[in-house]
Structure 1
Amino acid sequence: MKAKITSIPVLDQEKALQFYTEKLGFIKKHDVPLGENNRWLTVVSKDELNGVEILLEPSPNHFEPSKIYQSALFDAGIPYTQFNVEDLQGEYDRLMALGVSFSMQPTAMGNVKIAILDDTCGNKIQLIEML
C-alpha cells in the first residue's frame, strides 16, 4: 500500500491552482472537468513529478461539514497539512516577496524549523525544514 493522492479542501479551485502553481511552485498534473464547474484538479511537486498528487478538492462548496471543519482549523490557526522544504528561510523570503501571508515566521522547534502560511483558499499550510 502507498499514498498516491491526498486532498486539500479549497474554496475556489482556480484560485487554488494559481496559488499552488504560481506561488508554491507545484505543477498541474490533472485537470478534468466534472460538471457544475468542478474539476478533478491535481498538482505535484516539480521535484517529484510521479510523487504524491495533491487534489485541490472543492468539497467545502458541496459538503457543509467540510466547510465547518476547514473554517474551524483556519480560525484556530491549525495547519491543514504540511510541506517539507530544504531551506525554510529561503522559501519564506521567496514567498514573502511574492506577497504570501504568513501567520508564523520561521521558528525553530527542537529538530525542526516551521512556518505557517495562508493558502488564500481557506487553509493554513505549515512549511517544515528538518534540522
Structure 2
Amino acid sequence: MNTTAYLLLRLAVGASMFGHGLVRFPKLSAFSNWMVTGFEKSMLPQALVVPFSYALPFMEFVIGFLLIVGLFTEVALISGAGIMILLIFGTSLIENWEAIPSQLIHVMIFVWLLQFKGGNGISVDQVLLKR
C-alpha cells in the first residue's frame, strides 16, 4: 500500500469528520434541537436522541483530529465506522434515504483504511512505534 495514498485518504475522511464536529460546536443546542425534531416521529425515544445529539459533534471532532494527525488510527477508524453505523440506523428510521450513501461511503473508507493499515506510514502512530 502506498503510504502517500493512505495518508491522503486518511486526511480526507479525517477532515470530513473533524469539520462535521467543528461547525456544530457554536450551534450545539440548535443542532441538538434539529436532530430531536427530526426523530420526533421515529421509534427512538427522545431520551436516547438528546444525549447522542450532544455527543455526536464531540465524537466527530475527536475522531477527525486523531485521523488527521494519525494518532490511535486503528481505534479512530473503528470508532468512526461505529458512529456511521449508528447514523445509518437512525437515518433509516426516519427514512432519510438521501443521507445514507454519504454515510456508507464514510464506512467504506474507514473499513478500507483498516484493511490496509500497513500503509499508515506517515503518522504520529509510526513516530511513537519507532521509539
Structure ID, larger Rg: 2
TM-score by length of 1: 0.33
TM-score by length of 2: 0.33
More contact order relative to length (CA 8 Å, sep ≥ 6): 2
Which has a greater percent of strand?
1
Which has a greater percent of helix?
2
